[in-house]
């Protein structure tokens, strides 16, 4: 496993620990890699014609977390995933579009990835559990002005049961070809449960190989910035309990 060059740094003033890292498959020294980066605040994207079901774009932080899948095998130790929760009311939701505040890291030369993974998980005692809706390698449209990554889901995600769910987002790219990384903006203050992060291969040496609170993995912000668009479910699709 490659060793990371830096443990997580949450802001420009944070103290980082540097270690030696080998060059990646493209011959670049990976010592500049970060799991956290900072960007300037950007204006919120227009709502458009969809109904906003839930949003944390109004509390976007200038820091971002690495939540990515790497297309080359050499990047596998660095595959990571961030997750944040939201609560579906009794009526139920049909999610058709998701938006994520995201940005290009310093020194990254490639355009923002046009493919990514989006997953919605059921809640399992305060962390993501069973996958409810899975959209691997879905098309991502990135607005360079607002720095919003939009995914129009290829099939709607019907959440008929009220309760807590979790959403994750991972752009897919080749680190060697991109010249750097792409980040999902963090969000503060905390809304609901604290955001979770995992790096199963522990390439960043954080120890967060399973779902762990953001603040236990070196992030100073607790949540992630995202928005859900769609419709409130009609009565015929809602889930009812019988006493």
- The predicted pLDDT at position 167 comes to 98
Task: Tell me how far apart the alpha carbons of residues 171 and 70 are, in angstroms, rounded to a whole number.
Answer: 8
Cβ atoms of 28 and 40 within 8 Å: the answer is: no
Q: Which residues of 73-106 are buried (b: 16+ CB within 10 A; e: fewer)?
A: ebbebbbbbbbbbbebeeebbbbbbbbbbbbbbe
> Cβ neighbours of residue 200 under 8 Å, at least 6 residues apart?
79, 209, 210
- pLDDT mean for each 10 residues of the chain (243 residues): 34 28 38 51 45 95 95 90 97 96 90 96 98 98 96 97 98 86 96 98 96 96 97 66 45
Burial class (CB in 10 A: 0-12, 13-18, 19+), 115: middle
Question: Which architecture, in CATH terms, is 55-233?
Answer: Sandwich (2.60)
In this structure, the number of other CB atoms found within 10 A of the CB of residue 136 comes to: 12
Task: Tell me how far apart the alpha carbons of residues 37 and 100 are, in angstroms, rounded to a whole number.
Answer: 16
Residue 9 has, within 13 A of its CA and on its CB side, a CA count of 16
- The predicted pLDDT at position 242 comes to 43
- The predicted pLDDT at position 182 comes to 95
Residue extents of the structural domains in the chain: 55-233
Task: Tell me how far apart the alpha carbons of residues 219 and 67 are, in angstroms, rounded to a whole number.
Answer: 13
- Work out whether the CA dihedral 166, 172, 176, 178 comes out positive or negative: negative
* 214 token code pair: 């953001």
Alpha-carbon Rg for the chain, nearest whole angstrom, is 18
- The predicted pLDDT at position 18 comes to 24
- The predicted pLDDT at position 179 comes to 78
Cβ atoms of 224 and 166 within 8 Å: the answer is: no
- The predicted pLDDT at position 50 comes to 64
Reference 94, options 126, 54, 129; nearest CA is 54
């Amino acid at each position: 496993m490659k060793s990371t060059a830096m443990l997580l740094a949450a802001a420009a003033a944070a103290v980082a620990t540097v270690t030696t890292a080998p060059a990646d498959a493209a011959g670049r020294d990976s010592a500049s890699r970060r799991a956290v980066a900072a960007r300037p605040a950007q204006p919120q994207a227009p709502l458009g014609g969809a109904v906003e079901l839930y949003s944390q774009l109004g509390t976007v932080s200038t820091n971002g977390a690495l939540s990515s899948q790497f297309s080359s095998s050499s990047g596998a130790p660095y595959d990571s995933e961030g997750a944040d929760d939201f609560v579906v009311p009794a009526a139920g939701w049909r999610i058709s579009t998701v938006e994520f505040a995201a940005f290009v890291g310093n020194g990254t030369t490639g355009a923002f990835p046009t493919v990514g993974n989006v997953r919605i998980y059921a809640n399992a005692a305060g962390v993501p559990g069973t996958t409810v809706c899975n959209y691997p390698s879905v098309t991502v449209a990135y607005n360079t002005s607002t720095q919003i990554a939009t995914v129009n889901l290829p099939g709607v995600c019907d959440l008929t049961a009220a309760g807590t769910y979790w959403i994750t987002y991972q752009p897919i790219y080749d680190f060697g070809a991109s010249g750097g990384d792409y980040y999902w903006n963090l969000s503060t203050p905390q809304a609901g449960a604290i955001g979770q992060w995992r790096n199963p291969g522990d390439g960043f040496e954080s120890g967060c190989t399973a779902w762990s609170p953001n603040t236990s993995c070196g992030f100073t912000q607790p949540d992630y910035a995202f928005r859900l668009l769609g419709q409130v479910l009609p009565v015929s699709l809602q889930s009812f309990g019988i006493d």
